[in-house]
A and B are shown apart, each in its own frame.
Chain A
Amino acid sequence: AQSVTQLGSHVSVSEGALVLLRCNYSSSVPPYLFWYVQYPNQGLQLLLKYTTGATLVKGINGFEAEFKKSETSFHLTKPSAHMSDAAEYFCAVRGADTDKLIFGTGTRLQVFP
């Protein structure tokens, strides 16, 4: 069955530092992978997605993620954190039952000045 694991429920970085949020997936079929962001008191917004083709995917707000099949990973990075990046981030994989997305438990990012 498809699943995603997000390592670290909380990540704290200083403003200007590298952001690295980890996601590992398990999939019995070629995966479609997503990162969503949830700002306080809002719904989820798509940051980026991997479907096919280039393994380095660029998203909004300077975020990017690299699909590594050998490591079954899809980690999210941003070279320089901004205070406005403080939010909760969810990794998701489309299930073998393609009607559904399987979400990780989320990582809350804090950015300190």
Chain B
Amino acid sequence: NAGVTQTPKFRVLKTGQSMTLLCAQDMNHEYMYWYRQDPGMGLRLIHYSVGEGTTAKGEVPDGYNVSRLKKQNFLLGLESAAPSQTSVYFCASSYIGSTYYNEQFFGPGTRLTVL
């Protein structure tokens, strides 16, 4: 099992450019999440999905869009990148079971710089 993978690992954008970050998981998890990590602020939830075809806003959704067309994939889009979106982005997934604790499994991260 590869677990949770993220593509790309690094990216540099110019202000106003767009891009899509891809998250894939092979654990058949129902829930998937996108976080951003900034120094001193911990992890902040951007958007999440509780199943194929469904998405919901998290704590900091502005400037981002997401799609979950397939259960195993969760895409994060930046339509018009801004320097404030310079961050490390993490994808995570979790399973639903009879004992649901929401233990999340994380990908390795994507480091994005917006100039």
- On whether the beta carbons of A106 and B102 are closer than 8 Å, the reply is no
User: What is the CA–CA distance of A100 and B107 in the complex, to the nearest angstrom?
Assistant: 17
* A43 pairs with B90, CB closer than 8 A: yes
Among the stretches B42-50, B66-74, B77-85, the one at the interface with A is B42-50
A interface list, Cβ under 8 A from B: 9, 32, 34, 36, 41-46, 49, 51, 90, 94, 98-101, 103-106
Given A90-B42, A105-B40: 9 more A-B contacts, CB < 8 Å: A9-B40, A43-B4, A43-B109, A44-B92, A46-B105, A51-B101, A99-B31, A99-B50, A106-B42
Q: Is the beta-carbon distance between A45 and B101 smaller than 8 angstroms?
A: no
Q: Please, which residues of chain B bring their CB within 8 A of the CB of A105?
A: 40-42
Set of chain B residues within 8 Å of A43, measured between Cβ atoms: 4, 90, 106-109
B58 is an interface residue with CB less than 8 A from chain A? yes
B102 is contacted by which of A32, A44, A104 (Cβ under 8 Å)? A32
Interface of A is mostly: loop
Q: Are A51 and B99 in contact (CB under 8 A)?
A: yes
Instruction: Determine if A34 and B106 form an interchain contact, defined as CB atoms under 8 angstroms apart.
Output: no
Once bound together, how far apart are the Cα atoms of A32 and B101, in whole Å? 7
Kindly state the separation between the CA atoms of A9 and B58 in the bound complex, as whole angstroms. Answer: 24
Complex contact B40–A94 (CB within 8 A)? no
Instruction: Identify which of B41, B102, B104 gathers the most chain A CB atoms within 10 Å of its CB.
Output: B102
The answer to whether A45 and B106 have CB atoms under 8 Å apart is: yes
Q: Is the CB of A100 within 8 A of B102?
A: yes
Task: Tell me the bound Cα distance from A34 to B102 in angstroms.
Answer: 10
Shortest CB-to-CB span from B21 to chain A, Å, is 14
